[in-house]
Chains A and B, each alone.
Chain A
Amino acid sequence: MRVALFVTCVNDAVFPATGVATVRLLERLGVEVDFPAAQTCCGQPQFNTGYREETGPLVRRTVRAFEGYEYVVVPSGSCAAMVRHHYPSFGTEAAALGPRVYELTEFLVDVLGVTDVGAYFPHKVTYHPSCHGLRMLGLGERPRRLLEAVKGLELVELPGAEECCGFGGTFAVKNPDVSAAMGADKITNALSTGAEVLCGADNSCLLHLGGMLRRREDPLRALHLAEILASTEEEPWR
Chain B
Amino acid sequence: MGMPSFPKAAHDAVGDTTLRANLRHATHTIRDKRARAVAELDDWAALREAGKRIKDETLRRLDTYLVRLEAAVTAAGGTVHWAADAAEANRIVAALVRATGETEVVKVKSMATQEIRLNEHLEAEGIAAYETDLAELIVQLGEDRPSHILVPAIHRNRGEIRDIFKEKMGSWGRPAPEGLSDTPAELAEAARLHLREKFLRAKVGISGANFMVAETGTLVVVESEGNGRMCLTLPETLISVVGIEKVVPTWRDLEVFLQTLPRSSTAERMNPYTSMWTGTADEDGPRAFHLVLLDNGRTDALADEVGRQALRCIRCSACLNVCPVYERAGGHAYGSVYPGPIGAILTPQLRGTSSEIDASLPYASSLCGACYEVCPVAIDIPEVLVHLRERVAEEGGSGHRLEKAAIKAASWILDRPNVLAAGERLASATRKVHPKRLPGPGARQWSDHRDLPELPAEPFRDWWRKNRS
Contacts and interface: CB of A to CB of B under 8 A. Distances in A.
Interface of A: 7, 9, 11-17, 19-20, 23, 33, 35, 37-41, 43, 45-52, 54-55, 57-58, 61, 131-132, 135-136, 162-164, 166-183, 207-208, 210-212, 214-215
Interface string B87-108: 0000000000000000000000
Given A58-B415, A164-B324, A175-B363, A135 B451 contact: no
Which 4 A-B pairs rank lowest in CB-CB distance, beginning with the nearest? A168-B366, A50-B389, A211-B450, A164-B368
Contact of B393 (A41, A51, A168, A176): A51
A66 to B, nearest CB: 14
Nearest to B413: A40
Contact of A12 (B11, B393, B459): B459
Contact of A166 (B366, B390, B393, B461): B366
Contacts of A162: 370
Given A12-B460, A54-B411, A178 B449 contact: no
Contacts, number: 186
Contacts of A46: 407, 410-411
A12 B366 contact: no
A69 to B, nearest CB: 16
A171 B366 contact: yes
A16 B458 contact: yes
Contacts of B415: 40, 57-58, 61
Given A38-B417, A49-B393, A178 B461 contact: no
26 contacts: A13-B455, A16-B460, A20-B460, A37-B464, A40-B414, A41-B414, A45-B410, A49-B389, A50-B390, A50-B391, A51-B393, A51-B404, A51-B407, A52-B390, A54-B407, A61-B415, A166-B366, A170-B363, A174-B7, A174-B363, A175-B6, A177-B10, A177-B445, A180-B449, A182-B328, A183-B449
Contacts of A164: 324, 366, 368, 370
A171 B364 CA distance: 8
Interface residues of B, number: 62
B448 interface: yes
Contact of A23 (B366, B370, B445, B468): B468
Contacts of A210: 453
A182 B14 CA distance: 10
Given A9-B414, A50-B389, A131-B368, A163 B324 contact: yes
A131 B366 contact: yes
A14 B445 contact: no
B370 A135 contact: yes
A17 B404 contact: no
Contacts of B328: 177-178, 181-182
Interface of B: 6-7, 10-11, 14-15, 20, 324-325, 328-329, 362-370, 372-373, 386, 388-394, 403-404, 407-408, 410-411, 414-415, 417, 420, 424, 427, 442-443, 445-446, 448-453, 455-456, 458-461, 463-464, 468-469
User: Chain A interface secondary structure, helix, strand, loop or mixed?
Assistant: helix
A35 B466 CA distance: 12
Given A41-B414, A55-B411, 16 more contacts: A13-B424, A14-B455, A16-B460, A35-B468, A37-B464, A54-B407, A57-B411, A58-B415, A164-B368, A166-B324, A168-B367, A177-B14, A178-B10, A178-B328, A182-B325, A211-B451
A9 B461 CA distance: 10
A178 to B, nearest CB: 5
A37 B469 CA distance: 11
A135 B449 contact: no
A174 B442 contact: yes
B389 A14 contact: no
Nearest to B453: A14
Given A40-B415, A49-B393, A214 B451 contact: yes
